[in-house]
Structure 1
Amino acid sequence: MSEKFVYDENLASTYEKYTRLLGKVAEADETAAFLERLSKGGVALELGIGNGRVAVPLSERGVKVEGIDNSDSMLKLLAERTDLIKGWKGDIARFRAEKPYDLVYCVYSTFTLLSTREEQIACLRSAAEALQENGLVVLEVRVPPLDGLIGGQKTTTTFVDHENTFVNAVIHDPVNQNLTSTILWFSGTSVRRLPQRVRYVYHQELDTMAECVGLQLAERWGDWASGAFTNESKSHISVYRRTGL
């Protein structure tokens, strides 16, 4: 990746609490059930495996899971959590699998952390090349959150409870389809800063990029419960298979 976003040790140590507050830990079982259906009990590869939020419950369902991440700190958390999942350090934009997989998946909009179109296409190509003949690629991608921008900027409060407040400041670069954001996490008397840059992509462009590397859309859903993808959807789960099958 260019201008890689990497979870350092401080960010990695708070990742589980952060995702739990946002409901992502509770969602993991539903995500695993969806992915289990598509993997058919085979072997799966997660791109951006992190601390195993999804990989662990998926492996508990009988799927053999492996994963790639660019953060040593996150891979350390994964290793501390389980010894049943093989994780290794690598770039999800350009990787070469040592064996074919029944399922390659990338969740929580990790795909958009690849900050250029070229990197995103390279990731799709690497994923396609890693598939078994009848394998599938699954991507969870957020619908670009461009509403509310004024002068290419916006600041929103994304989470509040009795102890925590998340304030997200965003700057929009429409030429490069980049959103550069900083989440300020106020908790008690402490403040943490979580920076991030994404290259947003609409589902139509994603389909076109997938077609460039020999993938075609098989399914698209609005959530992990297989709800419809509509104008109101905040994200989509897109399932691709290799063309010509």
Structure 2
Amino acid sequence: MADEFIYDENWSAMYELLTLLRGKNDEVGETVAFLQRFSSGGTALELGIGDGRVAVPLSERGVKVEGIDNSDSMLNLLAKRTDLIKFWKADISRFRSEQRYNLVYCVWNTFTQAVTREAQIACLRSAVEALDDGGNLVIDVGVPPLDGFVNGQKISTLVVDHENTIIAADVHDPLTQNLVSTLLWFSGTSVKRLPNRVRYVYHQELDTMAECVGLKLAERWGDWAGGAFTEQSKRHISVYGRATTGLLNELSPTHVRQAPRGG
């Protein structure tokens, strides 16, 4: 896709420390327990597998995990970490797989790195084609962080400790729902500049796009631990199944587990 974002060597060199500083490693256990419930102990495909932060512990629970990523440097990190997970280089919006999976999942805003609506719908279409008849798609994305922008720009502090200061400089394009960001990472006497671009998506829009490719919302949570999705939530964990098969055959609209949210 145009303007696709790839974690280059600069990102991959800092990725493990970044996940630690942002608290992502602390929630791995809850993430894996959640995903295991939908994998039926069978097979799973991770979109944007990265260094295997989630895939490796999920595979250790008996799930046969495979993954794709568009970054050679991130896949190199995964290869150094384990030889038990099959992976290949691919764009999450344009991948094809002969294998069919019980679960396809995409975590930590990776879905939003498809920076157009068309690319995001293509990602969902590729995902549903990779699901078996009873399979589910799980997507973890943040609620759009649009507070604090002045004239389309915002600077925020992400991490401050005795060794690191990480500042994010963001530019907002409301017409494309794009946030163009740069992380400035100060550590000792060094400074690293890490660029990023995402297309944020509201939960209602995500549901509509999912319906376009034959998926329907089954569950939505505010975190991996099963907290309610509310007006105060900073993210949502959304679970989709095929509109006429799998988990949704057993669910009437009143059984869809979703906390109400305004707007």
Q: Note whether the superposition's TM-score is higher than 0.5.
A: yes
Q: Quick one: distance in 2 between partners of 1:166 and 1:9? A: 18
SS in 1 for 2:205: helix
Between 213-222 and 157-166, the greater mean CA deviation after superposition = 157-166
Supply the distance in 2 between the matched residues of 1:109 and 1:9 (Cα, whole angstroms): 20
Amino acid at match of 1:61: R
Runs of 4+, deviation exceeding 4 Å: none
Q: Deviations over 1:72-118 (max 9, x none)?
A: 11111101100110110001001111110000000000000000000
Distance in 1 between residues matched to 2:2 and 2:49, nearest whole Å = 19
1:195 corresponding residue in structure 2:
195
Shift, 1:40, TM fit: 1.2
Structure-to-structure mapping, 1:75-90, within 5 angstroms: 75-90=75-90
Identical amino acids, percent of aligned pairs:
70
2:212 counterpart of 1:212: yes
Alignment deviations for residues 118-174 of structure 1 (CA, whole Å, 9 cap, x no partner): 000000000001101000000001100000111111101111111111111110000
In structure 1, what residue type is equivalent to 2:102? D
Q: Kindly provide the amino acid, as one letter, of the partner of residue 218 in structure 2.
A: A
Distance 2:92 2:140 in 1: 15
Kindly state the Cα deviation for residue 10 of structure 1 after the two structures are TM-superposed: 2.4
Give 1:58's aligned residue: 58
What secondary structure is seen at the aligned counterpart in 2 of 1:111?
Answer: helix
1:1-245, aligned counterparts within 5 Å? 1-245=1-245
**CA separation in 2, counterparts of 1:13 and 1:210?**
34
Q: Give 5+ residue unaligned stretches, structure 1.
A: none
Q: In 1, distance between residues paired with 2:87 and 2:80? A: 12
Amino acid paired to 1:220: R
The answer to whether the 8 A contact 2:10-2:194 is kept is: no
Could you tell me which runs of 5 or more consecutive residues in structure 2 were left unpaired when the two chains were aligned: 246-263
- Which SS does the other structure have where 1:53 is aligned? coil
Task: Tell me if structure 1 keeps the 8 A contact 2:155–2:169.
Answer: yes
- Whole-Å separation in 1 of the counterparts to 2:135 and 2:34: 15
**Counterpart Cα distance in 2 of 1:101 and 1:205:** 25
Structure-1 separation of matches of 2:2 and 2:53: 25
SS in structure 1 at match of 2:209 = helix
